[in-house]
Amino acid sequence: MSRIGNKLKAGFFATPPMQGEYLKQLLHVEGSGAWLDPTCGEGAILHQISAPFQSDDCTITTYGVELDKGRAAKAKEVLHRCINAPIESMVIQNNAVSLLFLNPPYDHTLGDDVTERKEWIELFRGTRYLKEHGLLIYIIPSYRFADSKIARHLATQFYHIGIMRFSDEDYPDYRQCIFIGNKKAGRHKEFNKELYEFLLQMESEEFVQKNVNSITDFVRANHKWRVPSGVVELKTFYSKLMNKSDLVEGIKNSKGFQAFLNRSSVRQLQIGGNPILPLNVG
């Protein structure tokens, strides 16, 4: 398998459906809006947590981006919009998304010089798509929260924080934790030193087991996070890379291509009718 093929397979772990069942119980959806998963896989989890809130009075438009062609095809069946492209190629409206779901690949960026962990890159990139007070759901391995860049970003950009482990059905297999928080408003944001220091200690599995509660504890305590209303349709959501299949279809359906086919087609000989020239001249 090629290097890029290995990258596509590496680090893809879909969020277990049981965790989706718990997550949707933590949401207080205030109205219509656009929800985005920029590394959506097959789109199942975003569909799972958004579908219960769809109604005549609440329209949630789900957007996804997925690099793998097969997974993107499945995501298109359950999400309103899904583009098969690298997230790096996408142009997405900033400060517009009401809910951002992030379960990024556990891998490094494709680069020959300086590489970055994707958990950090997608968090940094995705935050700008999220509107003020919009909700972030961020799922990564527990020890990755101890990365100083991730910890500082979360402690600076978000408020009304919740940090929780997967429930006991899935945590032993996945060792993943969930960060939930609303995006702060304004340009100057206060740094939460206590949260930062807490996250740095999550490198220790012993610390996580002792100090990070299960998501089921938050559900039983009836904790809720607000998802604000917002725009239903994103003004910009496209890839700068051309999709070859879309390009082929566009050419096939163009008037210019049809005119070319008509001009280049073999003309059939027709017998009968009047001669082109008088017979004596011929």
pLDDT(191) > 70: yes
pLDDT for 120-130, tens place per residue? 999 999 999 99
Instruction: Report the alpha-carbon distance of residue 150 to residue 199 in Å, rounded.
Output: 9
Question: For position 268, what pLDDT does the model report?
Answer: 63
Q: Does the predicted TM-score (pTM) go above 0.85?
A: no
pLDDT for 146-168, tens place per residue? 999 999 999 999 999 999 999 99
Of 3-7, 14-18, 226-230, 239-243, the poorest mean pLDDT is in 3-7
What confidence tier does 106 reach under pLDDT thresholds 50, 70, 90?
A: confident
Instruction: Report the alpha-carbon distance of residue 143 to residue 203 in Å, rounded.
Output: 4
Q: 137 - beta bridge partners?
A: 101, 180
Sequential DSSP letters for 113-164: S---BHHHHHHHHHHTTEEEEEEEEEEEEGGGGG-HHHHHHHHHHEEEEEEE
